[in-house]
Structure 1
Amino acid sequence: MLLKMTGHSYRFECENLCRVFFPYSPVRVAEGTEPGPGEPWAEAAMEEGGAGWAYAVRASDGERELSRTFTAPERDEYHMTRLLFDALSELTGIRPAWGMLTGVHPVKLLRQHVERLGPGAGTEDFREKWLVSEARTELAGRVLRAQRQAVEELRPDDYSLYVGIPFCPTRCAYCSFISQDMAHAKKAVEPYLELLDLELERAAKIVGELGLRLISVYIGGGTPTTLSAEQLSKLCGRIRATFPMEHCREFTVEAGRPDTLTMEKLLALKGAGVGRISINPQTMSDRVLENIGRRHTAQDVVEGFGLAHRAGFTDINADLIVGLPGDSPEGFEETLEQVLGLSPTNITVHSLAIKRSAELVTDEGALSLHKRPEAAARMMDHAIVRLTKAGFEPYYLYRQTRMAGNLENTGWSRPGSACRYNIYTMDESGTVIACGAGGVTKLKDPYSQDLKRVFNFKYPFEYISRHREILERKDGIKEIYEQFRQRLY
Structure 2
Amino acid sequence: MIEISSKDTLYMYNLYHITKAFFPNTEIRQQVDEGQEPLVRLKLEGGSCFSIEEGEIKEFTDRQDGKRFVTKKVYDWLSQKTGRTLAWGMLTGVRPTKLVMQQIEAGMDREEIIKFLNKEYGVSDGKALLGWEIAQREKALLEQLDYVDGYSLYVGIPFCPSICSYCSFSSSPLEKWKDRMDSYLDALCREITAIGKAASGKKLNTIYIGGGTPTTLEAHQLERLLGTIDAVFSYENLKEFTVEAGRPDSITREKLEVISRYPVTRISINPQTMQQKTLDAVRRLHTVQDVKDVFQLARSLGFDNINMDLIAGLPGEDALDMQDTLRQIEELGPDSLTVHALAIKRAAKFGQEHKEIDLHSEIEQMVSDSADAADRMDLVPYYLYRQKNIAGNFENVGYAKVDKAGIYNILIMEEKQTILAAGAGASTKIVLPEKIQMANGKKTNLVRIENVKDITEYIGRIDEMIERKGEWLWR
User: TM-score when scaled to structure 1?
Assistant: 0.88
Rounded to whole Å, the distance in 2 between the matches of 1:297 and 1:282 is: 12
Matching residue of 2:154 = 162
Moved more, 162-171 or 426-435: 426-435
Deviation string 1:272-331 (CA, Å, 9 cap, x unpaired) is 222211000111111111111111110000000111011111110000000011211011
* 3-state SS in 1 of match to 2:19: helix
Matching residue of 2:438 = none
Question: Which one-letter code corresponds to 2:19 in the other structure?
Answer: C
Deviation string 1:27-56 (CA, Å, 9 cap, x unpaired) is 4432579xxxxxxxxx9843xxxxxxxxxx
Deviation string 1:45-90 (CA, Å, 9 cap, x unpaired) is 43xxxxxxxxxx5422210313355735235222222222222333
* 3-state SS in 2 of match to 1:2: strand
Matching residue of 1:428 = 415
Matching residue of 2:205 = 215
Matching residue of 1:107 = 97
Q: Over aligned residue pairs, what C-alpha RMSD do you find?
A: 2.1
Alignment of 1:185-196 (within 5 A): 185-196=177-188
- Candidates 139, 151, 172, aligned match of 2:164: 172
- Candidates 421, 424, 437, aligned match of 2:424: 437
Structure 1 residue 334: Cα displacement: 1.0
Shift in alpha-carbon separation, 1:8–1:233, aligned structure 2, 3 A = closer
Moved more, 151-160 or 218-227: 151-160
Matching residue of 1:74 = 60
Shift in alpha-carbon separation, 1:213–1:239, aligned structure 2, 3 A = same
Rounded to whole Å, the distance in 1 between the matches of 2:453 and 2:278 is: 29
Rounded to whole Å, the distance in 1 between the matches of 2:107 and 2:141 is: 22
Rounded to whole Å, the distance in 2 between the matches of 1:374 and 1:184 is: 36
Matching residue of 1:251 = 241
Rounded to whole Å, the distance in 2 between the matches of 1:206 and 1:413 is: 34
Alignment of 1:11-410 (within 5 A): 11-25=12-26, 27-31=28-32, 45-46=38-39, 57-69=40-52, 71-72=56-57, 73-75=59-61, 76-120=66-110, 121-155=112-146, 156-208=148-200, 211-362=201-352, 367-368=356-357, 371-410=358-397
Shift in alpha-carbon separation, 1:65–1:145, aligned structure 2, 3 A = same
Rounded to whole Å, the distance in 1 between the matches of 2:398 and 2:218 is: 28
Matching residue of 1:3 = 4
Give unpaired runs (5+ residues) of structure 1. 34-42, 47-56, 483-489
Rounded to whole Å, the distance in 2 between the matches of 1:58 and 1:65 is: 11
* 3-state SS in 1 of match to 2:80: helix
Structure 1 residue 122: Cα displacement: 3.0
Question: Which one-letter code corresponds to 1:17 in the other structure?
Answer: I
Identical-pair percentage: 38
Structure 1 residue 19: Cα displacement: 2.9
Rounded to whole Å, the distance in 2 between the matches of 1:17 and 1:298 is: 37
Structure 1 residue 143: Cα displacement: 0.8
Shift in alpha-carbon separation, 1:91–1:470, aligned structure 2, 3 A = same
Deviation string 1:407-464 (CA, Å, 9 cap, x unpaired) is 1111110110001111111222222111101111112235678322111111212211
Deviation string 1:185-240 (CA, Å, 9 cap, x unpaired) is 112211110001111111112112xx321011110000000101111111011101
Q: Do structure 1's residue 463 and structure 2's residue 458 form an aligned pair?
A: yes
Question: Which one-letter code corresponds to 2:151 in the other structure?
Answer: Y
Rounded to whole Å, the distance in 2 between the matches of 1:260 and 1:307 is: 13
Contact 1:160 1:214 in 2 (8 A): yes
Deviation string 1:124-157 (CA, Å, 9 cap, x unpaired) is 2123211111111111112112212211222121
Contact 2:383 2:399 in 1 (8 A): yes
Rounded to whole Å, the distance in 2 between the matches of 1:193 and 1:243 is: 17
Deviation string 1:4-30 (CA, Å, 9 cap, x unpaired) is 112573333333333333334454432
Rounded to whole Å, the distance in 1 between the matches of 2:459 and 2:46 is: 52
Contact 2:278 2:314 in 1 (8 A): yes
Deviation string 1:90-149 (CA, Å, 9 cap, x unpaired) is 333331111111111100111112222422323421232111111111111121122122
Shift in alpha-carbon separation, 1:94–1:465, aligned structure 2, 3 A = farther
Rounded to whole Å, the distance in 2 between the matches of 1:149 and 1:445 is: 22
Q: Do structure 1's residue 412 and structure 2's residue 377 form an aligned pair?
A: no
Contact 1:225 1:256 in 2 (8 A): yes
Contact 1:60 1:91 in 2 (8 A): no
Question: Which one-letter code corresponds to 2:414 in the other structure?
Answer: D
* 3-state SS in 2 of match to 1:450: strand
Rounded to whole Å, the distance in 1 between the matches of 2:44 and 2:12 is: 19
Matching residue of 2:439 = none
The number of equivalent residue pairs is 456
Structure 1 residue 248: Cα displacement: 0.7
Shift in alpha-carbon separation, 1:7–1:467, aligned structure 2, 3 A = closer
Shift in alpha-carbon separation, 1:359–1:69, aligned structure 2, 3 A = closer
Rounded to whole Å, the distance in 2 between the matches of 1:8 and 1:215 is: 40
Rounded to whole Å, the distance in 2 between the matches of 1:314 and 1:44 is: 62
* 3-state SS in 2 of match to 1:9: helix
